[in-house]
C-alpha cells in the first residue's frame, strides 16, 4: 500500500514555546517516524503575512521555526520540510479552490468570525474593520496547502479543525463537480491528551496571553519565568495537591513516569514551591539541552537551513506539479 501522507504547517509568528512543542511539534515528529507515513511539514509564511508586516521578523521566525523543528527531532531526510512561499502551485490551486468556495463558508470561518466578534465587542461600527482579504480567505489557502500534497492526515490543534473540514468540503465539491477523485479527502488529527497545557499564570499556555515558556531562550530567562509560575499560598511542609499545580503539570510532561511518581510523593510530603520550581527548571534544562545546542548551531549559520529548504522545495514540487497538472486538465485550462 502506498504511504499515507501526513501534512502540517505552522505560522512563523514567534519563537516556539512549550505549548507549541506539546501541541504541534512533538506529535508531528512522532507521526513522521512511522514507516507507513510520509510527512510533509511546512512553514506557513504567507499565512503569517495576514498579520505580520515586518520583513525581518518574518524571515527570522521562518528560520527559527525550521531550526526548532529539526532540533526537536524532525529528520529532514526522512520528512519533507519546506516553505509555503517556495511552492507556486499552492497559490495557483488557491485560486481554483476560491472559485469553488461559497462566500458564506468563509463568513463562518473562525479566524474571521473572531475578528468580527472583537469589533462588535469594542463597539466598532464596521464589523469588518481590521479584516483583510488574506485573513478572510485564509481557509482557502490552507485548503490548497493540504490538497496540493494529497494529504490524508492533518495534525492540528483543535482551533484548526474547522479549517481542515473546510478543505475537505472544498475537495468534495470539486470532485463531485467533475465526477473524479482529483483530491484526496483529508482528516484532521487532534491529540486530545495534550489539548490544555497551563502557562505560568495557570491559564492555557499561549503567546497571546504572554504566559508561555519559550524553549530556545537563555537559561537565565527560562529560570526566571519558571520562578514566576503562580502557586497557592501553602507553605513549605504543608502537603500540596499535584493535580492542581501548574508546576507539576509541566514537570510531568518532561519527566519519566518514575520521576513523576516520586515528585507526586514530594508534593504530599510538603515540598516547598521554590524547590518544586527548581526541580522543574532542572528537568527542563536537561530535556532541551541537546536541542538547544542544535538550534543554536542551525541559527548561527543559516546555510544548512537554506540547503534543507532548497531540497524540500524540489521534493515537494515533484508532488505539487503533478497535482496542479491534474487540476488544470480537469477544469479545462492550458
Query: Footprint of ligand TRP on this chain (CB under 6 A)?
Result: 7-11, 44, 47, 142, 145-146, 154, 156, 160, 163
Minimum distance from residue 230 beta carbon to ligand TRP (Å): 27
d(CA 68, CA 295): 6
Element (H, E) at 331: helix 303-331
Minimum distance from residue 305 beta carbon to ligand TRP (Å): 20
- In the complex with ligand TRP, the residue whose CB is nearer, 11 or 223, is 11
User: Starting at the edge strand that comes first in sequence, how are the strands of the sheet with 153-155 ordered?
Assistant: 80-83, 37-43, 4-10, 153-155, 187-189
Burial pattern 310-333, b for ≥16 Cβ within 10 A else e, equals: eebbeebbebbeebbeebeebeee
Minimum distance from residue 64 beta carbon to ligand TRP (Å): 16
- In the complex with ligand TRP, the residue whose CB is nearer, 163 or 283, is 163
Minimum distance from residue 85 beta carbon to ligand TRP (Å): 12
3-state secondary structure of 90: helix
- In the complex with ligand TRP, the residue whose CB is nearer, 7 or 66, is 7
- In the complex with ligand TRP, the residue whose CB is nearer, 11 or 252, is 11
- In the complex with ligand TRP, the residue whose CB is nearer, 43 or 291, is 43
Residues in the chain: 334
Minimum distance from residue 159 beta carbon to ligand TRP (Å): 8
Element (H, E) at 204: none
CB atoms near residue 103 (< 10 Å): 9
d(CA 318, CA 316): 5
Taking CB atoms, the residue at the shortest distance from ligand TRP is 9
Amino acid at each position: 500500500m502506498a504511504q499515507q501522507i501526513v501534512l502540517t504547517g505552522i505560522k512563523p509568528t514567534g519563537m516556539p514555546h512549550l505549548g507549541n512543542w506539546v501541541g504541534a511539534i512533538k506529535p508531528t515528529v512522532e507521526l513522521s517516524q512511522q514507516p507507513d507515513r510520509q510527512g510533509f511539514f511546512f512553514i506557513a509564511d504567507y499565512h503569517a503575512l495576514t498579520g505580520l508586516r515586518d520583513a525581518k521578523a518574518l524571515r527570522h521566525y521562518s528560520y527559527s521555526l525550521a531550526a526548532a523543528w529539526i532540533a526537536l527531532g524532525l529528520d529532514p531526510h526522512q520528512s519533507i520540510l519546506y516553505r509555503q512561499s517556495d511552492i507556486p502551485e499552492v497559490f495557483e490551486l488557491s485560486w481554483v479552490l476560491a472559485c469553488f468556495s461559497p462566500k458564506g463558508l468563509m463568513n463562518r470561518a473562525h479566524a474571521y468570525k473572531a475578528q468580527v466578534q472583537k469589533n462588535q465587542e469594542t463597539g466598532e461600527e464596521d464589523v469588518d474593520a481590521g479584516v483583510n482579504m488574506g485573513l478572510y480567505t485564509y481557509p482557502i489557502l490552507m485548503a490548497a496547502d493540504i490538497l496540493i500534497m494529497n494529504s490524508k492526515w492533518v495534525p492540528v490543534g483543535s482551533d484548526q479543525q474547522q479549517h481542515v473540514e473546510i478543505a475537505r468540503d472544498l475537495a468534495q465539491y470539486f470532485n463531485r463537480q467533475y465526477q473524479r477523485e482529483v483530491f484526496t479527502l483529508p482528516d484532521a488529527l487532534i491529540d486530545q491528551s495534550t489539548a490544555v497545557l497551563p502557562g505560568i499564570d495557570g491559564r492555557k499556555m499561549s503567546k497571546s496571553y504572554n504566559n508561555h515558556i519559550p524553549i530556545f531562550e537563555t537559561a537565565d530567562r527560562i529560570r526566571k519565568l519558571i520562578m514566576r509560575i503562580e502557586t497557592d499560598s501553602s507553605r513549605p511542609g504543608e502537603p500540596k495537591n499535584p493535580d492542581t499545580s501548574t508546576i507539576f503539570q509541566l514537570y510531568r510532561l518532561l519527566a519519566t513516569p518514575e520521576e513523576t511518581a516520586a515528585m507526586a510523593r514530594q508534593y504530599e510530603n510538603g515540598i516547598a514551591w521554590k524547590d518544586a520550581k527548581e526541580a522543574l527548571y532542572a528537568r527542563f534544562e536537561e530535556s532541551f539541552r541537546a536541542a538547544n545546542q542544535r538550534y543554536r548551531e542551525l541559527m548561527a549559520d543559516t546555510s544548512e537551513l537554506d540547503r534543507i529548504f532548497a531540497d524540500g522545495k524540489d521534493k515537494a514540487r515533484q508532488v505539487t506539479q503533478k497535482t496542479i497538472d491534474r487540476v488544470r486538465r480537469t477544469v479545462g485550462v492550458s
